[in-house]
Each structure stands twice: as structure tokens, then as C-alpha cells.
């Protein structure tokens, strides 16, 4: 029996190793520079693991915002510093990072995280400490408006939580509107990856698509680590779906779409901003005609975005800014604006209770950012509801239609 018990222990260890990932490193903190007061902006994102490409883009974009503010002397007497921590896309690690930021007195705001599930664990500690948090990527509607949003009972959850990303509710509504009214699709198949982001988006799409008069002809859930979806794809065939809506991210969406088309079903896959990645057409040979929605107007239509892209290039970061670069820059800049307001309201000096002053200023700021005009509503959500639908044409995302969706 000894060998079998070894197998049992092994299986237990295997399960345990699921939760293990490598540790991240972080930059050493430098000393204060000259007579300027140092304000630290914390950044929490997955810097290792399979979402690290997005996380590193967030880290670099936040860094770029801080450097730009320092270079321009945007807030007199203040030197901004970015302190990135790795959350490994895990809620428990995110919470530890939150505690660390709270314990460091010169941290006046935190940008991040990437994952809604991580955010759920960080919101409460930040709220208790009165430390401002601005997420560039969290789209879970309940994060700002509470679980009651579906029934119209919207209550702000945490006074310290803001985001430059739009909600699943708005994104799902926009996707449903585009697919039903513009692409004339009446029957859609629905798949999500069971994560907070994917499931939330799929649920919002379902509600809005059905309300418009469309039919969801079937739905399924997949594992985000899977790359073989042939069994799922074979099921879609018999339903006569005219499009597939996928709530999830591009690493799984790309093979899903290709296998769908390989099976002889020439219907488009549509996704949210998690699918809107330059790598999607690279990983998917049959991406032509696939759709995705993303926040804001297309980059090439905004002068501010061009400047961001040029600056990012000049700064020489090793990793691309990815899907959330612009939103991260805006999130970081919103904290910088709030610090500016706080300093100006206190005779050019940082108030002794810097965190409270920054938090108070957050609801007052308004500026033209990379992704459009940035300000926050009574829930802490961005007031920028403009979304754009993109379509793959000759292997690249091209903007199809921009608009503000009607939610309902």
C-alpha cells in the first residue's frame, strides 16, 4: 500500500502546488530628493504569472505618469515616486500588498489592481485606512455599486475606490447593442471562463441581448487555462448560432475562435476589452471578422493618446503598455491631480493628513486624459462611458463604431 499512499500524497501536493507561484521582486526605495516632499503612489498588479504582460504594462504606464509629472514640475514641491508590488493575480497576495501600502505613511494613493477578484480583497482595508485606490482595469459592476445593481438598488460600496475602467454592465450593454442593431445578429451562443470578469461580462451581455429581442441559443463555461475547445465548439454547431459572445481574455479566446472556424462554422467571436489585444490576431489564424469592445475612443482619434504612445516609446520600457496602459496612465494622473488640488488648497504644502486631502479631492478632479475626459461619478465610476467596437480586418483591430450605450 505504500506506493498508493505516495500517490495520494502526491495528488494532495499537486493540488497544493496549484496555489504556488513564484515570488516577485520589487525595486528598492530611494531616499528623498532635495527639498521636495516625496509622494509615493503604490501600484498593485500581477508582475509575474500568466497575466504579467498586462501587469507590467500597468506598472510601466504608472511609472511614466509619475515621471512626466516630475519632469513637468506639475505639482510644485512634490516629487512623485511609484512603488510597484506584485499580486500574482491572487486575492490573498493583493490583500497583503494593501496592508503594506497602508503601513507606509508616504503612500497617498494606489493604482490597481488588474483583477476584480483581487480588488474585492483590497477595497475594505483601503476604505478603513482612508487610502485612495484607482483601478485601471476592474470592470465588476458590484465593486462600486454593490450586488444590488441588477435590481436598480445601487449603493456605493467603498468611498476610497475609484476606477478609470468602465463597468461590465456598460460594456455588456454596448456589445449587445452593437451585435443586435449593427451586426444584425439575432441568435448568439454564450461562453464565459467563470472568472469574475468573464462571468460578469457574459451575464450583462445576456440580459441586454435578450431585452433587445435576441435569443441566447445556448451557453457554456470553459476553463481559462484550456486551449482545446473542440468539444465545446462541436456543441455550438447544432444550435444555429449566428455569433459567439465570449466573456474572458484573449489567451483562451484566440484558440476558441480558431477552432470554431476550423469546425466549419463561419460565425464571429465577440469579446470585451480582455479580447481586445494586439496578440489576439497573432494567436488566431482565422480571426478575420471577430469583434471586441473597448473603453474610450480609438487611440488614433485622440491627440493625448498619441502623446502617451510616443512618450512610452521614448521612455524605453522593455514591455508593451498593453490593453490597460492608457487607463493606467489616467488612473495615476487622477491621483496626481488630486495631490495637486490638495497641495494648492493648503498654501502649496502637502497637508498633514495627506490621505484625507487626496481622497476629498478625487471627486472634484476633471482633466483630459489619454482615454478621454476623466472624472468620477457618485459611485467612483468613470463618467467616460464612450465605448468602441473593433473588428479584425486584414489581421488587425480596426474601429467600427463608437458610442455611449443605453443601459437597461
Partner 1 sequence: MNELPQQLANGLILGAMYGLIAIGYTMVYGIVQLINFAHGEIFMVGGFGALTVWLWLPKDFALGVAIPLMILGGIIVSVAVATAAERFAYRPLRNAPRLAPLITAIGLSIVLQQIVWKWYPDAKKDRPFPQFNGGPFDIFGANIQRGDLFIIIAAPICMTALGLFVTKTRSGRGMQATAQDPDTAKLMGINTDRIIVMAFAIGAAFAAIAAVAYGLKNGQVGFRMGFLMGLKAFTAAVLGGIGNIYGAMLGGLVLGVAEALATGYIGDIPGMDLFGGGAWKDVWAFALLILVLLFRPQGLLGERVADRA
Pairing of strands 161-163, 187-192: unpaired
Grid coordinates 482633466 are at which residue?
Answer: 367
Nearest Cα residue to 103 out of 136, 81, 125, 82: 125
Nearest Cα residue to 333 out of 379, 299, 382: 382
* Residue 48 found at the interface with partner 1 (CB under 8 A): yes
Per-residue binding letters, 290-329, with partner 1 (x by CB under 8 A): -----------------------------x----------
Per-residue binding letters, 181-220, with partner 1 (x by CB under 8 A): ----------x--x-------------------------x
DSSP label of 74 = -
Our CB check for partner 1 shows the closer of 55 and 372 to be 55
Question: Which run of H or E residues covers position 302?
Answer: none
Rounded to whole angstroms, how far apart are CA atoms 374 and 368? 6
Give, in order, the Cα–Cα distances in Å from 339 to each of 41, 72, 134, 146, 317.
Answer: 11, 15, 14, 28, 26
Smallest distance from partner 1 to CB 405, Å: 28
> Residue 365: how many CB atoms within 10 A of its CB?
18
Our CB check for partner 1 shows the closer of 101 and 324 to be 324
Smallest distance from partner 1 to CB 366, Å: 35
Which of 42, 247, 255, 326: binder of partner 1 (CB under 8 A)?
A: 255
Long-range CB contacts (< 8 A, 24+ apart) of 305-312?
305/370, 305/371, 308/64, 308/370, 311/64, 311/68, 312/60, 312/61, 312/64
Which of 10, 181, 301, 395: binder of partner 1 (CB under 8 A)?
A: 10
Per-residue binding letters, 52-71, with partner 1 (x by CB under 8 A): xx--x---------------
* Residue 228 found at the interface with partner 1 (CB under 8 A): yes
Which of 4, 71, 105, 184: binder of partner 1 (CB under 8 A)?
A: 4
| Residues of this chain that bind partner 1 (CB under 8 A) | 1-4, 6-7, 9-10, 13-14, 17, 20-22, 48-50, 52-53, 56, 191, 194, 220-223, 225-232, 234-235, 237-238, 251, 254-255, 258, 262-264, 279, 282-285, 319
Amino acid at each position: 500500500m505504500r506506493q498508493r499512499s505516495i500517490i495520494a500524497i502526491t495528488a494532495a501536493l499537486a493540488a497544493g502546488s496549484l496555489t504556488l507561484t513564484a515570488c516577485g521582486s520589487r525595486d528598492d526605495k530611494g531616499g528623498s530628493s532635495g527639498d521636495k516632499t516625496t509622494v509615493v503612489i503604490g501600484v498593485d498588479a500581477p508582475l509575474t504569472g500568466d497575466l504579467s504582460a498586462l501587469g507590467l504594462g500597468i506598472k510601466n504606464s504608472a511609472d511614466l505618469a509619475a515621471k512626466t509629472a516630475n519632469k513637468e514640475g506639475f505639482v510644485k514641491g512634490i516629487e512623485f515616486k511609484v512603488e510597484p508590488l506584485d499580486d500574482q493575480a491572487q486575492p490573498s497576495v493583493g490583500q497583503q500588498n494593501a496592508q503594506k501600502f497602508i503601513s507606509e505613511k508616504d503612500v497617498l494613493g494606489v493604482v490597481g489592481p488588474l483583477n476584480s477578484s483581487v480588488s474585492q480583497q483590497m477595497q475594505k482595508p483601503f476604505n478603513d485606512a482612508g487610502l485612495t485606490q484607482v483601478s485601471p482595469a476592474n470592470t465588476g459592476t458590484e465593486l462600486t455599486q454593490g450586488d444590488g445593481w441588477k435590481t436598480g438598488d445601487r449603493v456605493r460600496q467603498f468611498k476610497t475606490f475609484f476606477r478609470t475602467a468602465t463597468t461590465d454592465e456598460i460594456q455588456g450593454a454596448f456589445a449587445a447593442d452593437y451585435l443586435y442593431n449593427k451586426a444584425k445578429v439575432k441568435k448568439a451562443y454564450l461562453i464565459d471562463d467563470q472568472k469574475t470578469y468573464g462571468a460578469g461580462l457574459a451575464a450583462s451581455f445576456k440580459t441586454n441581448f435578450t431585452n433587445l429581442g435576441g435569443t441566447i441559443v445556448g451557453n457554456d463555461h470553459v476553463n481559462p487555462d484550456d486551449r482545446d475547445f473542440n468539444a465545446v465548439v462541436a456543441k455550438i454547431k447544432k444550435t444555429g448560432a449566428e455569433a459567439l459572445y465570449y466573456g474572458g481574455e484573449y489567451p483562451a479566446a484566440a484558440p476558441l475562435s480558431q477552432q470554431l472556424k476550423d469546425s466549419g462554422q463561419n460565425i464571429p467571436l465577440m469579446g470585451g476589452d480582455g479580447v481586445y489585444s494586439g496578440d489576439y490576431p497573432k494567436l488566431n489564424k482565422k480571426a478575420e471578422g471577430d469583434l471586441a469592445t473597448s473603453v474610450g475612443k480609438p487611440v488614433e482619434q485622440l491627440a493625448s493618446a498619441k502623446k502617451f504612445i510616443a512618450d512610452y516609446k521614448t521612455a524605453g520600457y522593455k514591455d508593451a503598455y498593453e490593453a490597460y496602459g492608457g487607463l493606467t496612465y489616467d488612473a495615476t494622473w487622477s491621483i496626481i491631480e488630486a495631490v495637486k488640488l490638495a497641495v494648492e488648497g493648503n498654501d502649496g504644502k502637502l497637508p498633514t493628513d495627506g490621505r484625507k486631502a487626496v481622497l476629498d479631492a478625487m471627486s472634484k478632479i476633471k482633466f483630459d486624459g489619454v482615454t478621454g475626459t476623466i472624472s468620477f461619478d457618485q459611485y467612483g465610476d468613470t463618467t467616460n462611458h464612450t465605448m468602441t467596437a473593433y473588428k479584425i480586418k486584414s489581421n488587425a483591430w480596426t474601429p467600427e463604431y463608437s458610442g455611449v450605450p443605453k443601459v437597461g
